[in-house]
Amino acid sequence: MLEMLSRYRVVLVGRGQRDARRLIDAFSSKFDIRYTEEIGDDLWLFSDLIIFDFIRKDIIERARKESVNYLFLIGNEADVNKFSLKEEEYVLKGPGYLHYLSKIVYNMLKNRRIQQVLQFEKNKYDTLVNNMGCGMLLLRKDGKIIFSNDAAKAILGFSDSELFHKSLKEIMIEKEICNKILGGYNINNQKCTLVNAFSDERMVTLNSTMSLYEAERVIQVTFMDITTQIKNEKLIEFQWNFLDNIEEIALAVDSKGDIVYLNQFAAKSHGYEIQEMLGTPEQNYVKQYSRYLKSKARSLKESGRWMGKETHLTKDGKNFIVEARRKLLKTEKGVFELMVGRDVTAKHEMERKLKLHSLLLNNVSEIVIAIDGSYRVLYMNKTAEDFFRISFRKASGKKLNELSSELYKKLYEGIFSLCNDTAPNRLVEIEEEQGTKIMLQLISRCVKEKGRVIGYVITGKDISGIYYILPNLKSRVELLEKLFNPSVATDLKGRILYANFSWLETFGINDMNNIMGMKLVPSFIQSSEKERNKINKLLEKDGYVYLDEVSFLVNGNPHKAPMIIFRLRDRRGYFIADISIIMKSKITHQ
């Protein structure tokens, strides 16, 4: 029936019309015949067989490269040896060959179609077997392995050639089970141990049956590797014993979301007894926001882990924040989701308050750092970021001794000693790479919640100007006062340490104490950050800078004048102050 519905498509390639008719007439109605004399790329497409009525070397080479069936009609037997033709590639033009050519071609195509169907079925079977997810072995009655799928090779660590004809007795430890399998017994869900190529023992569940393979009765063995599952079960047992004794929230849920384990601390944190929570849905105690559910589900699916903050509910309806870590554990009894977390409500509240005050704290000149009870950074204001040369984003959540800032490392012991109730303030001296000494006054405040320490807020003030510079500057003050030109002394951060009478008079200031500690830029002088960096490099290199023109405000009115800046150092080369002098005689209105 199939031949009637789908005739074989045959292309006859000849050299002239004289041969065309005799070739076409040689075939029955079982064939769809087309005759051509052109050999192009289209010739090799859309046909079941191409028959050439002549032979050439280039055509043979092309035919052997293509996937289509082909046949050469040979008139001279010497051409067989000349072109190294195989039996299935040619038919000799003997007496009356046209009478049986149709039958030869039909049988040839029928056999090749059967081979294609068998190959397709074999590939389909191999694909099915190799994707079934469990290992599969076929054994002869003597226990020799004659077939193994990809999963079996992966579990056992052997290649195809290594596993072929290896005996089941060589890879199975339990001899009694092995003898039952080879004796023809059907084995179901039997736990046993197989040894892989690395002498590592793999725990498996095994099934065996008798079946046919290439007309021979063989033993089919399928097995699942449960080594990891068993290890996970032991790990869970160990973890649960361990988690029972820690002061962290720990619970596990099954695939339905019901609680199958929780420790005493978890029950206490939620205001229940252990037995009250066991077997109940976890969602009764955790607020299930849609964004939280999507994030958790995606992370658990991709990596088997999730970290984040959760809002939990107590028995009396109150909320508390849990910093949770979740992990999937696959066992023979199913998949469990283990959660370990700690109550960070107080820490979260402290962070919230710090964020509310961040705008205010970012505008104060003092250094402000907040750390939790584990000495991890909770907050830094802009002044602290600038001083320690590290952003809050990089420092957040890290311990003080883990920060990359060199100044932090030098200050670590000084700050660490403040983290208690008995040392509220301290002077700490550090020396920068350039040799400049800095004196910081650090003040600590311990933050408690219900008697428990949840963190420390440390403020720091750079008093280097008062502590180091002013004593050295006093000997130069008399000289500055005698200067006719407005002069001002500043520290490395541009803060005013001293201004002479001419400066105060020029800018209309009554008392020097009113401007002490103020930034020279932009309080008085107008200059970009790029210009200031350039000036600082020149001062470090040459010790002075002459500026043709600087802009400044006097009573709100813009002025300009030349300025010269000197960098004063003591005999040991340590920085004292930068002296800025405005040429008063050359002040002009803008």
Q: Residue 115 is which amino acid?
A: Q
Distant-in-sequence contacts of 2-7, Cβ < 8 A, 24+ apart: 3/30, 7/31, 7/32
Residues 6+ positions from 240 with CB-CB distance below 8 Å: 252, 261, 263
Tell me how far apart the alpha carbons of residues 5 and 3 are, in angstroms, rounded to a whole number.
6
Average pLDDT over residues 141-156: 86
Closest CA to 447 of 518, 377, 372, 507: 372
- Domains of the chain are 2-127 (3.40.50.2300), 132-225 (3.30.450.20), 230-341 (3.30.450.20), 347-462 (3.30.450.20), 471-589 (3.30.450.20)
Which of the four pLDDT bands, split at 50, 70 and 90, describes residue 5?
Answer: very low
In SS3 terms, 314-365 reads as CCCCCEEEEEEEEEEEEECCEEEEEEEEEECHHHHHHHHHHHHCHHHHCCCC
Which of the four pLDDT bands, split at 50, 70 and 90, describes residue 444?
Answer: confident
Q: Residue 131 is which amino acid?
A: N
* pLDDT > 70 in the chain, percent: 82
Which of the four pLDDT bands, split at 50, 70 and 90, describes residue 193?
Answer: very high
Which of the four pLDDT bands, split at 50, 70 and 90, describes residue 528?
Answer: confident
Degrees, nearest 5: CA angle 141-145-149: 130
pTM here is 0.33
Contact yes or no for 90/74 (Cβ under 8 A): yes
Task: Read off the DSSP letter of residue 234.
Answer: H
Tens-place pLDDT, residues 446-475: 877 767 777 888 888 776 655 555 555 555
Which of the four pLDDT bands, split at 50, 70 and 90, describes residue 555?
Answer: confident
Closest CA to 108 of 29, 34, 51: 51
The per-residue pLDDT for 214 is 59
Element (H, E) at 119: helix 97-130
Instruction: For residue 489, list its beta bridge partners.
Output: 498, 579
Enter the tokens of residue 70. 């082909």
Contact yes or no for 425/406 (Cβ under 8 A): no
Residue found under tokens 């046949």: 71
Tell me how far apart the alpha carbons of residues 47 and 57 are, in angstroms, rounded to a whole number.
22
Residues 6+ positions from 179 with CB-CB distance below 8 Å: none
Q: Residue 119 is which amino acid?
A: Q
- Which of the residue ranges 98-112, 180-194, 223-237, 403-417 has the most confident prediction, judged by mean pLDDT? 180-194
Mean pLDDT of the chain: 80
